[in-house]
Structure 1
């Protein structure tokens, strides 16, 4: 085959391979984390991003025959995912009509968003959002949602519009208690016209491979740049106060704190208890914007898992070793990282404050019973065992 006129499928495959190879060099640049352990995590991140975007681009590009793809699970993490969520994405056509059917099982809430694309794409944004609560759907319910098409005359039909420009539907399932029970099940199908899959053509697979290549390339650099830019908005060990992300979900606010802790130091966070359906504190790696270990360690705690002190304040301790309090976020020994405060569907907007203290002084810094009170090693092991048992259900294949 002459090199001057490659077939589109071969050219797209070559471009994808070149991009993945270049990414391995790109993450060695000084703007990415550079310790041996962080570099190892970076190459794992590249491999898992390749899995994620090949599956999305090649396997889920057809809006005529959509399927939900689970992303940001234990293998396809990107963009600072919430460890209390399961994320499911499906491709749609704004001119189409779709039916989503599901069983909530132990899922306690979901947020359905009609979107243009992901944040790391050139075109992105949320066009419409609605929660399970808004739709009258509760844990344990079965449900059906009509997505797109004309608004039904029957008000009992759960209907979600598809605004012009919509290209995907994203569902975030929320699990507050991390119970050892069945997670939600969702299906999607197009109902306005018959689906007859056609045989694959060179041009179509080239389009799919280019989608995978583009998402992979942009995700690797975008989220590193996003974290670096966010860090410049404030000082280390100080919260950048909560805000709604531009073009993001209206019901969610985020506050960031980039911590830098030496051995023997801890970060104590205090804030008014949110009046909200959901809130949490979670730790993230730098560069790859993945959560730190949150199943076998306590890298994240939500409103059901975090104790509120008797004075109405929430106190959380970020530390390299166990301080013996319930509200401990385990850094995995990372001297630097990102702490995110999330608050969703809230009646107030607390502003967390953070202070570095000597680990040895925590007992005197925290009043008796603060930060959720004392926790024994046995209680910590039981808590982690319960998290692992839930995760086995949530992320089962």
Structure 2
């Protein structure tokens, strides 16, 4: 019988798709309601597109290209709504050049990684920020990654640790305004790009990795949220920590909310002394952001207004309470709230409490307010920014 590894790998990938469609209907996934089930199948479709593109279209570190992930269509692993993510394959023995222009991007974090958290082998081996490299908004830049250390100390150079297989860029956008986003390109310097025809073995490897990443992502992040929820009590923060094997500069605190009709969650915190921080809502099961472009499912340090006493308070509610710092749950009674703090000199511990939505005016008498017209203007500005950041 003729061996056809490519055909076998294709069938295995299709089998993984079919199995995942059955798997998410189990009790440990949030698919009991028709709307939740629809979100689940959309998530599977987008994960299939994501990992086929990465594993088949971006498989060769000899000819790397940045792939945009965790954008509007390929969300996994709790992406930050203030980020735009780019990934490229690298060879730890190779030499690369990354060039571009920051335009309106205010910060980036470059991580050299073994793999993604849902893979068997994962972890961040090195990280550096635009600030570390002396790069700011509007700057053109060139960074050498890997290869011999340049003799000129003015050249920006980042060595590649042994075992690194990918470079990940997180672009940060604090002020959501209508402006040109950053541009990044990557090229390999030490070997020519591959030009040979694709072999059955190579496409089989790509399809096999795609199936593994697809299945791993769907299973891992659902269990990740379930395990995190089990570490604490609903409507109470699991206090800040660094993610194991994750980025050293980022701290996370989780609060799983569970609200009855007419209830709201008030979150209070001292001001972090940090270059960046935010509060963001996520869907259970899929770890995708709650709507943050056409609604306020996430707010960062530039978008949250402090109260007169200097504390920061945000309100989770299904309906607009008129409070400026409103996190719109999108009508979801349950979900995950994440507090992120990056490059911080302190580690504030947010506190949450459930209140009646009808009592918010009495509970928060001095908190800044927005009129309906001001809320519409706020959303319009977010939509205009997103149209630029996520344009093709």
TM-score, scaled to structure 2: 0.99
Further displaced range: 33-42 or 106-115? 33-42
Separation in 2 of the partners of 1:90 and 1:50?
18
Answering whether residue 209 of structure 2 is matched by residue 216 of structure 1, we say: no
Offset from partner CA, 1:104-131 (integer Å, 9 cap, x none): 0100000000000000000000000000
Is 1:348 matched with 2:343? no
Q: Distance in 2 between matches of 1:241 and 1:315?
A: 17
1:41 alignment partner, SS class: helix
| Counterpart check, 1:378 vs 2:373 | yes
Work out whether residues 67 and 90 of structure 1, in 8 Å CA contact, stay in contact via their aligned partners in 2: yes
- Aligned-CA RMSD value: 0.7
Contact (CA 8 Å) 1:253, 1:344: kept in 2 or not?
Answer: yes
Q: Is the 8 A contact 1:65 1:197 kept in 2?
A: no
CA shift digits 1:46-104 (9 cap, x unpaired): 00001100000000010000000000000000000000000000000000000000110
| Match status 1:30 vs 2:27 | yes
| Structure-1-length-normalised TM-score | 0.98
Give the secondary-structure state (helix, strand or coil) at the position aligned to 2:280: strand
User: Among residues 140, 143, 148, which one is paired with 1:145 in the alignment?
Assistant: 143
1:147–1:160 contact (8 Å) kept in structure 2 = yes
Asked if the contact 1:260–1:336 (Cα under 8 Å) also holds between the matched residues in 2, the reply is yes
CA distance in 2, matches of 1:105, 1:85: 14
Q: Between Structure 1 and Structure 2, how many residues are aligned?
A: 391
Measured after TM superposition, the shift of residue 367 of structure 1 is 2.7
Ranges of 4+ aligned residues in structure 1 off by more than 3 Å: none
- Match of 2:12, SS state, is helix
In structure 2, C-alpha distance between the alignment counterparts of 1:374 and 1:172, rounded to whole Å: 32
What is the aligned partner in structure 2 of residue 258 from structure 1? 256
Residue 367 in structure 1 maps to residue 365 in structure 2:
yes
1:134 is matched with 132
Listed as ranges, the matches of 1:125-274 within 5 Å are 125-274=123-272
Please give the per-residue CA displacement for 1:13-68, whole angstroms capped at 9, x wherever unaligned: 00000000000000000000022111110000000001100000000010000000
Deviation at 1:197, TM superposition (A): 1.9
Unaligned runs of 5+ in 2: none
- State the Cα distance separating 1:195 from its structure 2 match: 1.8
